[in-house]
Amino acid sequence: MIRTDWNIDEIKNIYHSPLLDLVYKAASIHRKYHDPLKIKVSQLISIKTGACVEDCAYCAQSSRYNTGVQPHKTLSLQEVLKEAAGAKEKGVERVCLSASWRNVPEGKQFEELLQMISEVKKMGLSACCTLGMINEKQAESLAKAGITAYNHNLDTSDKFYSQIISTRSYQDRLDTIDRLINAGVQHCTGGIIGMGETEEDRISMIHKLATMRKHPYTVPLNTLVPIQGTPLEKMPLLSSWEMIRMIAVVRIVMPKSMICLAAGRKQMADEAQALCFLAGANSIFVGTKLLTTPNPELDDDMELMKKIGMEAY
């Protein structure tokens, strides 16, 4: 049963249950709604990198911090198609176009974006986007263009949010997600752990996601990749156990959503990743680079999948 009426105490109790009980319960629920041996692989394409006006404390692409990321202008259609073709050649079926925008631009740039999506789709690939805030009309156009999902994260709890980002509010994020739902675009919404938040903050974020009028199509869960030059550069690397617990709780309260084990896999042992998949994660980003940070080699990912009997699709 899909519930959107979870109360915070229920989620707190689930979060604090013994880890093995949690993983067992999550794995049992996962099997009812998903093929537990299938994993969706997507590749990120950064169509515009760096020079972002926002001040997200975790991000290598904010212009406020000296992170050494080389900004580049929006890629041309040809450049995007070349990257998409590279992904397809490697057996990847889905790409996610990402841009370091505060919000989706209007006019010619938006037309070009729609063209990128339609051309990528003509190649037989599915396309997702993550482009910042979006207005109603743009969301409708993306729906018409047939995107699979639009990624816009909550990142953390309402309470902790202001310590991470000051240039746009939690409500701004919720409004964008509302517009996506209204336009019929599937939303891909999750967050980051390891930014110095408390367990209460994590529980609050999960509660917010699980009580949306529509559960996310995908919940991406990122472990902070500390970026030199950002305010979070000194954050200690988070233990994988924390991610395993997050995934299990998210799987239990949002049984139908896909869960993407997003940033942080490079630092994770194979066994920890396998536990994440057992607990309900069923999607990953592949390719040696996420947006600006390293990701495992595709060959290593494929070897891991083979070892544990999972099939990428």
Nearer to ligand SF4, 52 or 275 (CB): 52
Number of residues forming the site for ligand SF4 (CB under 6 A): 8
Rounded to whole angstroms, the Cα distance separating 165 from 36 reads 36
Interacting span for ligand SF4 (CB under 6 A) from 51-59, 196-204, 219-227, 244-252: 51-59
x/- letters, 72..101, toward ligand SF4 (CB under 6 A) = ----------------------------x-
Q: List, as one string, the DSSP characters of 74-127.
A: PPPHHHHHHHHHHHHHTT--EEEEEE--SB---THHHHHHHHHHHHHHHTT-EE
Nearer to ligand DTB, 135 or 293 (CB): 293
Q: Applying CB under 6 A, which of residues 42, 46, 61, 273 lies at the interface with ligand SF4?
A: 61
Rounded to whole angstroms, the Cα distance separating 245 from 223 reads 12
Interacting span for ligand DTB (CB under 6 A) from 19-27, 33-41, 109-117, 219-227: 219-227
Binding site for ligand SAM (CB under 6 A): 58-59, 98, 100-101, 130, 132, 152-153, 155, 192, 222, 224-225, 227, 263, 291
x/- letters, 46..85, toward ligand DTB (CB under 6 A) = --------------x-------------------------
Best CA proximity match to 39, nearest among 310, 250, 297: 310
Secondary structure percentages of the chain, helix, strand, coil, to 5: 40, 15, 40
CB 225, min distance to ligand SF4, A: 12
Cα(first)–Cα(last) distance of the chain, in Å? 26
x/- letters, 101..130, toward ligand DTB (CB under 6 A) = -----------------------------x
Nearer to ligand SF4, 51 or 272 (CB): 51
For residue 57, the one-letter residue type is A
CA atoms within 13 A on the CB side of 132: 22
Residues in the chain: 313
Contact 154, 170 (CB under 8 A): yes
Rounded to whole angstroms, the Cα distance separating 256 from 308 reads 23
Interacting span for ligand SF4 (CB under 6 A) from 24-32, 55-63, 107-115, 142-150: 55-63
Rounded to whole angstroms, the Cα distance separating 243 from 251 reads 12
The two tokens of residue 178 are 């509302």
CB 254, min distance to ligand SAM, A: 17
Alpha-carbon Rg for the chain, nearest whole angstrom, is 18
Q: Applying CB under 6 A, which of residues 42, 43, 46, 62 lies at the interface with ligand SF4?
A: 62
**Residue 293 contacts ligand DTB per CB under 6 A:** yes
**Residue 39 contacts ligand DTB per CB under 6 A:** no
Contact 247, 259 (CB under 8 A): yes
**Residue 46 contacts ligand SF4 per CB under 6 A:** no
Residue 155 interacts with which of ligand SAM, ligand DTB, ligand SF4, none, CB < 5 to 8 Å by class: ligand SAM
**Residue 59 contacts ligand SF4 per CB under 6 A:** yes
Contact 295, 287 (CB under 8 A): yes
Residues that bind ligand DTB (CB under 6 A): 44, 60, 98, 130, 151, 153, 190, 220, 222, 225, 262-263, 290-293
